[in-house]
Each structure stands twice: as C-alpha cells, then as structure tokens.
C-alpha cells in the first residue's frame, strides 16, 4: 500500500518489505526454517529495519527471525550471554542497536572514516548522535504479539468466546500471552503453551509501544548515543495482519498512549508514534504461506552489515547455554563490551557490573521516560528478573 511518504517520493512500503525479504534470501540455509519428516516447512516471523536517508537509497541494516522466549528463571543465571526474548521484532531491534554501536566504534577507531548515519557530538552528555533527515522503518511478516493482534487471535478461534482466566491485576503481572483475549488495551506477557515455564517478558505490542517513548535504543546504548532521531517512523506488515482498530488502540495517541500524546522529556526523549502501514508482499515462511500442519521454528537468524548468526535457545547454534562462547554479538554481555570501549573513549566513568551501568546517572533519563510510560499508559508492566554480571572494567 502506498503511503503519504511514497507520494512524496521518500519510500514505498513494498520497497521496504522487498529489501528485508531479499536480505533474508541471502542468508545461509542453516538460518532458515527446516522441513519436518512429512516435508512441511516450519513457519517463523521475520522482522527487519530499513533506513531511509534524504539522499541515498533505502538500506536494510538489521534483520531477524524468531518466535521463542525463555522462562524468567533463566535470566538471573545467564550472565548476559543468553537472549531471552527471541521474537523477531525484538531481535531486529537488538541488531539495530548493535549496528549503531559498530558505526560509532568505526568513527573512533578509523578517525578519517565518516558514517552515513551517526556523528560525533560536541559538548553533549552523549558523545554520538544519529544524523538529521534519517528515518527508520520496520517490516514484520506478522502482527506483533499482544494487544495489537488480539482481534486476529479471536478470529482464529473456533469458539471466539473469551477464555475464563482473568488476571489478578493486584499482582502487577498483567495477562499471560493470549489468555482472556477479549481484555484489550492492557499489558500482556509473551504467549506460550499453558504448561510452559513462566516468562515475564512483555509482548511485542507492549515493547513497541514503549519504544515510541524511549526510542529504538536500549538503555545502555543511550549512555553513548542520543535518542534524538532514533525513533521508528513506520511499522509495515502484510495487509492481512493489520486490524486498524487494534493498532490504533495499542500504539496511537487515540488509544492507550493518549496521556503521552504530546509528552517530551529531558535528554531528547519524546513520544513519537509510528505509522501502521501495509504491503501486499508475504514472507514465504509466514504462518499463512505454510501448511496448516506447520510447526513454529526454533531457529532464529540475526543479521546486520556487521554480523550474521544463527541462534537456538538464545545462543549460537551448536553451543550450550552454559558456554560463554555461545553468546551472540547482540547479547547483553558482548554489546556492553563495545559500549564500554566507547564510554572509556569519551571519558565516562568505569562500571563494575551490568547492574551498575543500568542504574547509572547516564541511564536516569531513560528510566524516567520508561517509568512515565508505564505509570500513565502501560499499566500492569512488571519488571523482569534482574540480570547482572561483571563487565570487566
């Protein structure tokens, strides 16, 4: 579907989708869903982020597939090496953060080199910023899990009557996955089988709604890179996946984010709602493109111009979760190492643990923004289990 920006010549939604789909095609076969014994391909969600500049052609800079989430019990023992939320949208955002950190490192390590996307700031608290005139667009092959896909969940049921499991909102844990799917505009945890261990990871709808306030940057990346210009411009999904009232309710200033409509916070943070747009293109491994008998894939692929990896259960394919060498480049442990290099270069104080970095003065503005969004719009957002580890400085 053509958007108002396409009419102005900035981008076309099919073009954005094509860039992500084409980049996926270039991945090795081990990064793609497998076929079961009956020859039926598994299905998986694909998400990617495309950058559009004022002069150059659009470019895919981050891509991921995935749809698994590990239980909360794994967080405190992971030492930052295991990716707990492997839904495609979240992995793609992690790849995006890794890409920007590598762009910043390039500026420091190769002094004569210029980045197309980031630059060194002057006397600002954060040494780097994203250039003006840049837009980021996300393509995803499925509607985000959680509130934005509740109507789709209802329509997929043989009996659309609400399931009789209501949350105890006094516990501040929100709804589990798809339970009580007639309850709308509320925070949900990642969907999972009823007999699966509990996860506290929030749905992709909720995380994307929050990113409209905190930017696409993680709190630790925000210690070296300004959130200005780091917001998502549009989320592009197949036409069959867009229920307009669901997206308006989940993400827009007319829905649950209404109280934050014109909010601005110190440090370059502000409420930047993205547009929901559609494409007629479908991903070959989407739920609709595979057999009704297809199972969900346990393989995750992550890609950026700086890295391409295949993951299973939150670590590199072929490695055990207990082995440090199994950590992905987008894991907290390895991404923080690069961030610390840039912090040291800019003269920021050293940190002993990941918890110290997350709780530092440099993340206070980020935490304030998140707290405001949770208190005023994303009620029921419960904190996850803490993950802390030595960062080696």
12-51 per-position pLDDT tens digit: 999 999 999 999 999 999 999 988 877 888 999 999 999 9
What pLDDT is attached to residue 232?
98
In angstroms, the CA 362 to CA 11 distance is: 35
Residue 85 structure tokens:
């939320």
Asked if the model's pLDDT at residue 246 lies above 90, the reply is yes
Asked if the model's pLDDT at residue 113 lies above 80, the reply is yes
User: If we measure between CA atoms, which residue out of 182, 152, 140, 162 comes closest to residue 243?
Assistant: 152
Reported as a pLDDT band with limits 50, 70 and 90, residue 169 is very low
Strands, DSSP E only, in 14-106?
46-52, 59-65, 67-69, 85-87
| CA distances in angstroms from 26 to 19, 87, 134, 308, 386, listed in the order given | 11, 21, 26, 11, 37
Predicted TM-score (pTM) of the model is 0.93
Distance in Å from the first CA to the final CA of the chain? 50
232-238/135-140 β-pairing:
parallel
What pLDDT is attached to residue 110?
85
Question: Across residues 97-101, what is the average pLDDT?
Answer: 98
**Torsion of Cα atoms, 136 then 141 then 146 then 148, to 10°:** 70
The answer for residues whose C-beta is within 8 angstroms of residue 158's C-beta and 6 or more apart is none
Question: Across residues 124-132, what is the average pLDDT?
Answer: 91
In angstroms, the CA 90 to CA 187 distance is: 16
Asked if the model's pLDDT at residue 196 lies above 80, the reply is no
Instruction: Please give the mean pLDDT across all residues of the chain.
Output: 88
Question: Across residues 6-11, what is the average pLDDT?
Answer: 50
Asked if the model's pLDDT at residue 316 lies above 60, the reply is yes
269-270/299-304 β-pairing:
unpaired
Residues 298 and 86: beta-carbon distance below 8 Å: no
Asked if the model's pLDDT at residue 136 lies above 70, the reply is yes
pLDDT above 70: percentage of residues in the chain = 89
Phi, psi of 249 (to 5 degrees): -65, -40
Reported as a pLDDT band with limits 50, 70 and 90, residue 386 is confident
Strands, DSSP E only, in 203-327?
232-238, 264-265, 269-270, 275-279, 299-304, 307-312, 315-316
In angstroms, the CA 304 to CA 49 distance is: 10
Reported as a pLDDT band with limits 50, 70 and 90, residue 162 is low
What pLDDT is attached to residue 231?
98
């Amino acid at each position: 579907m053509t958007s108002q920006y396409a009419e102005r010549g900035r981008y076309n939604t099919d073009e954005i989708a094509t860039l992500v789909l084409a980049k996926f095609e270039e991945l090795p076969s081990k990064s793609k869903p497998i076929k079961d014994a009956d020859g039926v391909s598994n299905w998986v969600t694909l998400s990617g982020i495309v950058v559009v500049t004022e002069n150059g052609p659009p470019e895919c800079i981050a891509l991921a597939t995935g749809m698994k989430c590990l239980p909360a019990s794994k967080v405190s023992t992971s030492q930052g090496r295991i990716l707990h939320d492997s839904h495609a949208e979240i992995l793609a955002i992690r790849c995006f953060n890794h890409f920007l950190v590598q762009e910043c490192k390039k500026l420091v390590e190769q002094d004569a080199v210029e980045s197309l996307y980031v630059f060194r700031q002057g006397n600002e608290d954060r040494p780097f910023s994203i250039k003006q005139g840049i837009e980021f667009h996300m393509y995803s092959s499925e509607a985000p899990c959680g509130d934005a896909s509740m109507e789709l969940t209802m329509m997929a049921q043989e009996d659309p009557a609400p399931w009789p499991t209501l949350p105890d909102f006094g516990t501040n844990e929100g709804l589990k996955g798809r339970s009580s799917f007639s309850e709308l505009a509320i925070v949900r945890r990642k969907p999972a089988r009823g007999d699966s261990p509990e996860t506290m990871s929030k749905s992709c709808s909720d995380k994307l709604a929050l990113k409209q306030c905190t930017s696409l940057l993680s709190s630790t990346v925000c210690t070296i890179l300004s959130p200005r210009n780091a917001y998502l411009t549009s989320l592009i999904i197949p036409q069959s996946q867009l229920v307009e009232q669901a997206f308006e309710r989940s993400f827009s200033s007319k829905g649950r984010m209404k109280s934050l409509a014109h909010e601005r916070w110190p440090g370059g943070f502000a409420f930047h709602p993205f547009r929901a747009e559609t494409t007629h293109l479908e991903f070959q491994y989407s739920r609709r493109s595979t057999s009704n008998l297809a199972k969900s894939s346990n393989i995750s692929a992550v890609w950026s111009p700086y890295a391409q990896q295949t993951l299973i259960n939150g670590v590199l394919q072929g490695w055990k979760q207990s082995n440090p060498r199994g950590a992905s480049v987008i894991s907290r442990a390895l991404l923080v190492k690069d961030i610390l290099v840039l912090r040291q270069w800019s003269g920021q104080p050293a940190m002993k643990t990941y918890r110290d970095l997350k709780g530092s003065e440099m993340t206070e503005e980020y935490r304030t923004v998140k707290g405001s969004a949770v208190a005023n719009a994303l009620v029921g957002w419960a904190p996850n289990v803490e993950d802390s580890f030595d960062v080696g400085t």
